[in-house]
Structure 1
Amino acid sequence: MAVGMCHLQINMNVIATEHSYQPHGSNGIRWMIRSCLNTAPRLESTHKPLLRGPAMTDLSNRQFLLAKRPSGAVRRDDFTYQQVPVTSLADGQILVRNKFLSLDPAMRGWMNDGKSYIPAVQLGDVMRALGVGEVLESKNPKFAAGDHVQGALGTQDYFAGEPKGFYKVDTSLAPLPLYLSALGMTGMTAYLALLDVGQPKSGDTVLISGAAGAVGSIAGQIAKLKGCRVVGIAGGKDKCSLLTSELGFDAAIDYKSEDVMEAIKRHCPDGVNVYFDNVGGDILDAALSQLAVGARVVICGAISQYNNTTAIKGPANYMSLLVNRARMEGFIVLDHADRFAEAGQVMAGWIKEGKLKSKEHIVEGLETFPETFQMLFNGENQGKLILKVE
C-alpha cells in the first residue's frame, strides 16, 4: 500500500571520503528516490513464488523469512533460514545481487502486527530491508545488467522481482555503503528531523540521545554546522570519545556511568533548547526535566522501548512541556518527501567539503543477520550498522 512518493535528484562532483569499509569496521552524485519503503513490493518467500519459469540452478539464494512475531528481543528462531534456487525473470522484473543491507531500529516495528506508518512484514515473507546491489539480469527497460541500485531488497542474497521504488546509484561517485548512511534515509532523517522539527538557531543548546548511532551522529554534526552547542548522550567511553574527538560535539554524557539528569544540568546550565530523542524511556524523562522555555523536542525513535514485553514507558516529566511552553513532535521521514532534494544536495555538499563525517559499522555475512541486528539494541554499533551480504 503506497502512502507517499519520495523524489530526489542530486548532481555534483565525486565525493572524496575517508571511510574505511572493512568488515566489522566503523569507520555531481546522481541518484533519485523514486519511492519510499511503503511502495516496496511485498517480498514473498519461494513457498509463494513471485516469479515463474525454470529455476536458475547455478544461483542459490539464502533468505531469512519472518516466522513469528517476536516477543522482546529478536531471536534467531523468530526467522526461518532457507536456501532456494533463484527462478527466472518475468517481463518487467530484475535480478539483483545484494551487496549491503541497512539494519535499522525501525525494522523491529515492521515485525509487529499492528498499526504503523507502513504495513507489517507478513509471516512467511522475506524480512524487509533496504539495501544496495548490482543488477545481474534485467527484463525491465529502466534497468540494465551492471547497474547498481538501491531499494527494498530484503534479507537475502538475491532480489528477483519488480523494482518498485528502486533507483540507480553511481559507485564511481560514492561508495555503496554511503547510500545507506549519510546519503540515504539515515541522512535524510537526521537533516529533516533536526531542521524541520527541531528548528535549531545559532547559539541554541542541542541535546541528542543515541548520539553515536546512525541518525544521532549526523544530527549532532548538522547542529554544529548551524552554530549550536551540542551535547550527546551515548553508552561507554569509546562512543563518548568518538563524539567529542571525531564528530565535533562539545560534550558527551555516558549514560552507563553517569547520572544522566545531573550530567544534563552540568552540561546544559541554561537548559536544553532542542532535544533530539532516539531512545525514549528514562533518558527522555531526564531531558524533559531540563528544557528551556520554548524548547523543541524531536521524537525520532525510542530504541530503549522497542523490545518491551510490557507497556511502553511514558514520560513522567511531561508537565515540563507546559511550564516551559515547549513543543514535542514525532517525526517520520516519509512525511517530508518534498524536502529530500534539498536535504540530499546539502548533505552531499557538506561531505564533499569535509564538514560532515559519515560513520559506517559494517559486519560481514548474511548468515549473521539475527545477531547483527540485535547489536542495535545492545548498543554495540558506532554509526550506521550495515550488513555486508557476501
Structure 2
Amino acid sequence: PASTAYLATFDYGQTKAGDTVLIVGAAGNVGSAAVALAVRSGATVVAVAARRSLERCLEIGAHEAYDYASDWVAQVSTKHRDHVDVYLDTSGVNDVAAAVDLLAPHGRIVLLSGDGTVDTQRPVPLGPLYRKSGSIRGFVMSRASAEQLADAAQRTTGLLAEGALLPNAIDLMQFSETARAHRRIETETMGGTRLVLLPA
C-alpha cells in the first residue's frame, strides 16, 4: 500500500510542497499512506473517508476531513473549488465531474481503483478539463516498472521504519487459514485492515 500510494502521489500526481491534495478513500491503507506522504511533502491534504475514520485521517496529518456519506463535494467546493492541484481517488467511485470542478489550473486527477463495471463508468467533462489544462491518469500497481517499484520501496522504507506509515489494523491468521483470509477479502469491508498470514 505504501508503494502504491507513493507512486500515485508523486510519480503520477506529481505532488509538491504547497499543493492542495484531495484524497478520496483516505482511511484505507493506500489512502492513509497517501495522506502521510503528501503531508510530509509539504502539501495541504483534504481527506474524504467514512465518518468513523475521520479522526484517524486528522491524526495522520490531514488538514481537513469530510464524511463521504455527506454532501462532501459541496462542502469541499466552498473552500477549494478550482484549487485542488491533485485529486487522488483510491475508492473506485471516480466522480470525474466533481474532480474536474474542484481542480485547479494544471491540476492532476489520479484514479487508483475501478473495476470497469457500469457503476464505475463516469462521464468526463472534457470542456472544463481542457480549459483548466487538467489531466486524468489511471494508475494500477501491476503496470509499475521495476525502476518505479525500486524507487517507491527505497522512499517508503525509511518512513516505515520511523512508524510514519501504519495500517489501520493488522489481523494475524495462520497460513492454514489462507482460504478463509481470501473469503474475508472478497466478502467483508476490510476498512484498512491488513491480513498477515503466519507460518505454522
TM-score normalised according to structure 1 size: 0.45
Task: Name which of 313, 322, 331 aligns with 2:130.
Answer: 322
Distance 1:211 1:341 in 2: 24
Distance 2:116 2:16 in 1: 35
Q: Deviations over 1:83-126 (max 9, x none)?
A: xxxxxxxxxxxxxxxxxxxxxxxxxxxxxxxxxxxxxxxxxxxx
Kindly report which structure 2 residues correspond to 1:30-45, keeping only aligned pairs within 5 A, or say none. Answer: none
Tell me: CA distance 1:255–1:329, structure 2 relative to 1, closer, same or farther (3 Å).
Answer: same
Tell me: CA distance 1:264–1:188, structure 2 relative to 1, closer, same or farther (3 Å).
Answer: same
Q: Note if 1:275 corresponds to 2:83.
A: no
1:289 is paired with a residue whose SS is helix
Tell me: CA distance 1:322–1:360, structure 2 relative to 1, closer, same or farther (3 Å).
Answer: same
**Residue 193 (structure 1) shift:** 1.6
Could you list the runs of 5+ residues in structure 1 that have no partner in the other structure?
1-185
Tell me the residue number matched to 2:53: 239
Q: Note if 1:348 corresponds to 2:157.
A: yes
Task: Name which of 5, 9, 14 aligns with 1:199.
Answer: 14
The code of the aligned residue for 1:327 comes to S
**Residue 332 (structure 1) shift:** 2.6
Distance 2:54 2:128 in 1: 27
Tell me: CA distance 1:335–1:263, structure 2 relative to 1, closer, same or farther (3 Å).
Answer: same
Tell me: CA distance 1:283–1:229, structure 2 relative to 1, closer, same or farther (3 Å).
Answer: same
Tell me: CA distance 1:358–1:297, structure 2 relative to 1, closer, same or farther (3 Å).
Answer: same
Tell me the residue number matched to 2:33: 218
**Residue 277 (structure 1) shift:** 1.4
Larger Rg: 1
Is the CA contact 1:358–1:383 (under 8 Å) kept in the aligned structure 2?
yes
1:279 is paired with a residue whose SS is coil
**Residue 354 (structure 1) shift:** 3.7
Is the CA contact 1:361–1:381 (under 8 Å) kept in the aligned structure 2?
no
Is the CA contact 1:260–1:283 (under 8 Å) kept in the aligned structure 2?
no
Tell me: CA distance 1:277–1:363, structure 2 relative to 1, closer, same or farther (3 Å).
Answer: same
Tell me the residue number matched to 1:138: none
Q: Note if 1:187 corresponds to 2:6.
A: no
Q: Percent identity?
A: 30
Task: Name which of 187, 192, 198 aligns with 1:374.
Answer: 187
- Please provide the CA RMSD for this pair: 2.5
**Residue 211 (structure 1) shift:** 1.0
Tell me the residue number matched to 1:37: none
TM-score normalised according to structure 2 size: 0.83
Distance 2:184 2:102 in 1: 36
Tell me the residue number matched to 1:167: none
**Residue 221 (structure 1) shift:** 0.8
Tell me: CA distance 1:361–1:307, structure 2 relative to 1, closer, same or farther (3 Å).
Answer: farther
Q: Deviations over 1:159-187 (max 9, x none)?
A: xxxxxxxxxxxxxxxxxxxxxxxxxxx22
**Residue 331 (structure 1) shift:** 1.5
Task: Name which of 68, 79, 82 aligns with 1:255.
Answer: 68
Pairs aligned (count): 194
**Residue 271 (structure 1) shift:** 1.7
**Residue 269 (structure 1) shift:** 4.8
Tell me: CA distance 1:363–1:284, structure 2 relative to 1, closer, same or farther (3 Å).
Answer: farther
